[in-house]
A and B are shown apart, each in its own frame.
Chain A
Amino acid sequence: KQEVTQIPAALSVPEGENLVLNCSFTDSAIYNLQWFRQDPGKGLTSLLLIQSSQREQTSGRLNASLDKSSGRSTLYIAASQPGDSATYLCAVRLGGSGSRLTFGEGTQLTVNP
């Protein structure tokens, strides 16, 4: 059974800082990995999708890396802003049509002005 762990559970940083969120998974035979953002009381916004054959994806100030063999992914946020405050969720998919995403518990990020 795939298990996804996110560390830390919560993080508070001053504005402008670069930060790293960690995600680990137990079954390395993944199809892809997605990072999401969730604001309080809202749905999930897809940030980055990394296919199993890729090592990283970038979008603006966000960079996500994937190391399948070690079962790890990191989300790097550069020059953090108060608007980045949200819960960040990592999810992996094993593969096959209709296969599910397995979510981590999330990291709650607060960026203080």
Chain B
Amino acid sequence: GAVVSQHPSWVICKSGTSVKIECRSLDFQATTMFWYRQFPKQSLMLMATSNEGSKATYEQGVEKDKFLINHASLTLSTLTVTSAHPEDSSFYICSARDPGVGETQYFGPGTRLLVL
């Protein structure tokens, strides 16, 4: 099946620093990518929808200046957590929709962020 990669798989950073997470669709072009956040033992919470070449659409309650999303190409979207704080520690998962396979949505392996 289609593969979506994320980098890094885990990151530890100091409070106040910014962290960038990359999401790539490896064998298909994705005009739409999604960023989710998942807390322990909970389901996924959609943060934003990333559209190639345009501004991301953020869900209610998600700060767009805090979580910067850039969808620079059809295979790459990035999420930057700016001025990270301990409460931003979470599991972040990206997803990409393959327009050619019944619009199946594929998910990356996730990035675990720990802010000290």
* Chain A interface residues (CB < 8 Å from chain B): 31-32, 34, 36, 41-46, 49, 51, 89, 91, 93, 97-98, 100-101, 103-106
Contact = CB atoms under 8 A, between A and B. Distances in A.
Interface string B86-116: 0000010101000000111111111010000
Nearest to B91: A41
Contacts, number: 55
A43 B102 contact: no
Mostly, the A contact residues are strand
Contacts of B51: 98
B102 A103 contact: no
Given A32-B102, A44-B93, A51-B102, A97 B32 contact: yes
Given A36-B107, A100-B34, A100-B49, A105 B43 contact: yes
Contacts of B106: 46
A101 B43 CA distance: 12
Given A42-B109, A98-B49, A49 B104 contact: yes
Given A91-B105, A101-B105, 20 more contacts: A36-B107, A41-B110, A43-B93, A43-B107, A43-B108, A44-B44, A44-B107, A46-B1, A46-B105, A49-B102, A49-B104, A51-B102, A89-B44, A97-B31, A98-B49, A100-B46, A100-B49, A101-B34, A101-B95, A105-B42
